[in-house]
Amino acid sequence: MMVWAIVGIGALSFIVWAHHMYVSGMHPYFGFFFATTTLIIAVPTAIKVYNWVLTLWKADIHLTQPMLFSLGFLVTFLNGGLTGLFLGNVVVDVPLSDTMFVVAHFHMVMGVAPLMVILGAIYHWYPKMSGRMLHEGMGKFHFWVTFLGAYLIFFPMHYVGLVGVPRRYPELGDSVFIPDSVADLNSFISLAAFTVGFAQLVFFYNIFWSLKYGKPSGPNPWRATTLEWQTPQTPPAHGNFGDELPIVYRWPYDYSVPGADEDFIAQNDPGPVKKPQAST
């Protein structure tokens, strides 16, 4: 189902583009069409978000570093996706277009959320690539500053846009309709931005420090099912899988299968040997 949602989003995404052009002067009737397709594409996206969130239900949640970033991703992607509903609805886009609301929206959904994904992915696959775990304390610090800081940068920015401040303006001048407090808000956002930026130094230091001093991870520290964790060498050598390529028996999400020995069943695990069938 998730696969169909991805494919559906991919296909639908080819017929939504003019939601960036509602105020471009194109024929107004296009606005009806593209608003509809844009809001339709929100449905498979929502299904995916529900899937991720509901996976937490009755789960067994290990709050590891990649997990923290995944949760951070969910929050920021949800936020960004929901503000997209404002902008996709054509008539709501008219006052908000080309204001800082748009800037806040796309940074949240395309900047902060992918940043959470990238960082989470690096924390997740670093043990596979290097054979060592990243330092946990540095990782937690990095997560908290990045997540909270980035949220604090872009959440208030929506309100700057709501006031009517346009984007791509290096300064506001002394416009009457902009209250003075917007300048304070801008200063706050800037300070948050510098803080988050500097916190990334901790991350880069962690990467290089852990290469030498990180705890050895073994081949599958997260006890994951997918094939990259089943390579004979960690980090994987040239040729990836040694002499024999793996044979795949199952889908990648056999976690906590009732009756299984371990909490996970690797994709290339054939499972208990079945009695040969008479007809074969």
Partner 1 sequence: MVIGIVLVLLVIGSVVFHIFSPWWWTPIASNWVFMDSMITLTFWITGAVYVAVILFMAYCIFKFRHKEGRVADYEPENTKLEVWLTVVTSIGVAALLIPGLVVWGQFVNVPDDANEVEVVAQQWYWSYRLPGKDGKLGIVDNRLISSDNPLGIDPDDPNGQDDVVIDGEELHLPIGVPVKMLLRSVDVLHDYYVPEFRAKMDMVPGMITFFWFEPTRTGEFEVLCAELCGTGHAFMRGAVFIDSETDYNLWLNEQLTFAQLTVPDQIEVADNLVPGTNGE
Partner 2 sequence: MVDIQRPTPGEIPPSEVPDEDLYHPKSYWTKYIFSQDAKVIAIQYAGVATGVGLIGLVLSWLMRLQLGFPDLFDFITPEMYYQFVTMHGMIMVVYLLTALFLGGFGNYLIPLMVGARDMVFPYVNMLSFWIFFLAVIVLVASFFVPGGPTGAGWTLYPPQAILSGTPGNEAGIVLMLVSLILFIIGFTMGGLNYVVTVLQARARGMTMMRLPLTIWGIFTATVLALLAFPALLVAAVMMLFDTLLGPASSCRRSCRWASSLTTKGAARSCSSTCSGSLAIPKCTLWHSRLLASFRICFLLTRARAFSATG
Q: Which residues in the 16-55 window bind partner 2 by CB under 8 A?
A: 16-18, 20-21, 24, 41, 45, 48-49, 52
- Min separation Cβ 49 and partner 1, Å: 7
Residue 257's nearest CA partner among 247, 268, 245, 271 is: 271
Distance, CA of 198 to chain centre:
21
Can you tell me whether residue 55 is helix, strand or coil?
coil
- Judged by beta carbon, residue 149 or residue 234, the one nearer partner 1 is 149
- Judged by beta carbon, residue 164 or residue 236, the one nearer partner 1 is 164
Q: How many residues bind partner 2 (CB under 8 A)?
A: 74
The stretch near partner 2 (CB under 8 A) out of 57-65, 139-147, 181-189, 213-221 is 181-189
CA angle (193 as vertex; 53, 106 as ends), nearest 5: 50
Helices 113-130, 65-88: inter-axial angle, 10-degree rounding = 150
How many residues are listed for the chain in this entry? 280
Residue 34 touches which of partner 2, partner 1, none (CB < 5 to 8 A by kind)? none
Residue 164 makes contact with partner 2 by CB under 8 A: no
Residue 94 makes contact with partner 2 by CB under 8 A: no
Q: In whole angstroms, what is the distance from residue 86 CA to residue 135 CA?
A: 40
Residue 226 makes contact with partner 2 by CB under 8 A: yes
What residues from 69 to 88 belong to the interface with partner 2 (CB under 8 A)? 70, 77
- Min separation Cβ 75 and partner 1, Å: 6
Q: In whole angstroms, what is the distance from residue 260 CA to residue 257 CA?
A: 6
- Sorted by sequence, the CB contacts under 8 Å of residue 251 that are 6+ apart come out as 267
Residue 238 touches which of partner 1, partner 2, none (CB < 5 to 8 A by kind)? partner 2
Among 238, 259, 261, 279, binds partner 2 (CB under 8 A): 238
- Judged by beta carbon, residue 91 or residue 238, the one nearer partner 2 is 238
What residues from 119 to 158 belong to the interface with partner 2 (CB under 8 A)? 121, 125, 129
- Min separation Cβ 6 and partner 2, Å: 5
Q: Alpha helix (H) ranges present in 164-221?
A: 181-213
Bridge partners of 99, per DSSP, are 166
Residue 111 makes contact with partner 2 by CB under 8 A: yes
Q: Could you tell me the CA-to-CA distances from 101 to 79, 87, 108, 154, 246 in Å, in that order?
A: 13, 9, 11, 9, 49
Residue 154's nearest CA partner among 184, 178, 189 is: 189
- Judged by beta carbon, residue 31 or residue 127, the one nearer partner 1 is 31
